Amino acid sequence: MSSPLIGIIMGSDSDLPTMQAAIAVCEEFGVACEVSIVSAHRTPERMVDYAQKAHLRGLKVIVAGAGGAAHLPGMVAALTPLPVIGVPVATRHLQGVDSLYSIVQMPGGIPVATVAIGNAKNAGLLAVQILASHQPDLLEKVQQYRQSLQDMVMEKQARLDQ
Ligand code: RP5
């Protein structure tokens, strides 16, 4: 496998079931990714090191998932020049609204592209599309994927029409 272009990080291994969808997208599009547990609160120095070195190691996009007091995506975005896509992970008590608010309300200057609660699939797709903007082969795969979505809808319509 070639060196990873997408870094998928999460605050805890308990986020992995949610983040698995982003990993699956990378695999589906044949984009090399690396997966790491990096906690803003439990391993703050590891987080700083990861974020500061990510672009030097060849990563192009970071997908960061966290739940609750979800500071990981925003803190990583503050420390890297790479685009960061945040995934609010659903929580037991507040169902992920806490995660969403923690990730989406970034101050001007330090953006985190935030997807819907639990929607790591879209985070993976967005990361792939960022790479595809300057990789024609990957762009073609994205277009094929979009066509497959249209085909799926039209098949459902055809079944309804029978
Ligand atoms: C956050 O706290 C993690 O992103 C996770 O969503 C949440 C709970 O972590 P665990 O207590 O399950 O390890 O930092």
- 149 occurs within a structural domain: no
Q: pLDDT at position 17, please?
A: 98
- 140 occurs within a structural domain: no
Cβ neighbours of residue 23 under 8 Å, at least 6 residues apart? 8, 33, 35, 124
Q: How confident is the model at residue 124 (pLDDT cuts 50, 70, 90)?
A: very high
- Reply yes or no on whether the pLDDT at 107 is more than 70: yes
- 154 occurs within a structural domain: no
What mean pLDDT comes out for the span 125-130?
A: 98
What mean pLDDT comes out for the span 98-112?
A: 98
Q: pLDDT at position 47, please?
A: 98
Cβ neighbours of residue 136 under 8 Å, at least 6 residues apart? none
pLDDT digits (tens, 9 = 90+) for 11-57: 999 999 999 999 999 999 999 999 999 999 999 999 999 999 999 99
* Residue nearest to ligand 1 atom 3, measured at CA: 11
* Mutation pick for ligand 1 pocket among 9, 10, 12 (CB with most ligand atoms within 8 Å): 12
- 46 occurs within a structural domain: yes
CATH code of the domain containing 21: 3.40.50.1970
* Residue nearest to ligand 1 atom 7, measured at CA: 67
Q: CB within 6 Å of ligand 1 — which residues?
A: 10-12, 14-15, 39, 41, 66-68, 89
Mean pLDDT of the chain: 98
- Reply yes or no on whether the pLDDT at 2 is more than 90: no
Number of domains in the chain: 1
Strand ranges, E, within the chain? 6-10, 33-37, 61-67, 84-89, 113-114
- 119 occurs within a structural domain: yes
Distance between Cα 48 and ligand 1 center (Å): 18
Based on the number of CB atoms within 10 Å of its own CB, is 160 exposed (0-12), middle (13-18) or buried (19 or more)?
A: exposed
Q: pLDDT at position 158, please?
A: 98
- 147 occurs within a structural domain: no
Q: How confident is the model at residue 1 (pLDDT cuts 50, 70, 90)?
A: low
- 146 occurs within a structural domain: no
Is this complex scored with an ipTM above 0.90? yes
* Residue nearest to ligand 1 atom 6, measured at CA: 67
- 81 occurs within a structural domain: yes
Distance between Cα 154 and ligand 1 center (Å): 40
- Give the domain range for residue 92: 6-135
CA atoms of 79 and 1, how far apart (whole Å)? 27
